[in-house]
Amino acid sequence: MADCECLPKCPFFHDQMSNMPSTAELVKKQYCSGPNADNMKCARHMVFVVLGRDGVPSDLYPSEAGRADRILAGR
């Protein structure tokens, strides 16, 4: 899959993960960038697609797909 269009400006990586580079790289490989990445499973991307950048809570982790579903159900 192609790199996520949100990656260059994703506040999750630039703010919350800035002091954990090795963990950030693991998460990026799973959700954002590389041959095995699947941004369609990223909770942040799920909300971004429907509500736009401003609709993504700053504390939403990529692995919180259930929370993303609840956010989108309540829109």
Given this model, what pLDDT does residue 62 score? 95
Given this model, what pLDDT does residue 4 score? 92
**pLDDT tens-digit series, residues 9-49:** 888 887 888 888 899 899 999 999 988 899 999 999 999 99
**3-state SS assignment for residue 46:** helix
Given this model, what pLDDT does residue 75 score? 75
Structure tokens that stand for 60 in this block: 């939403």
CB-based contact 36:60 (threshold 8 Å): no
Structure tokens that stand for 64 in this block: 């919180």
Q: pLDDT band for 65, please (50, 70, 90 cuts).
A: very high
**3-state SS assignment for residue 55:** helix
Structure tokens that stand for 24 in this block: 């950030």
**3-state SS assignment for residue 2:** coil
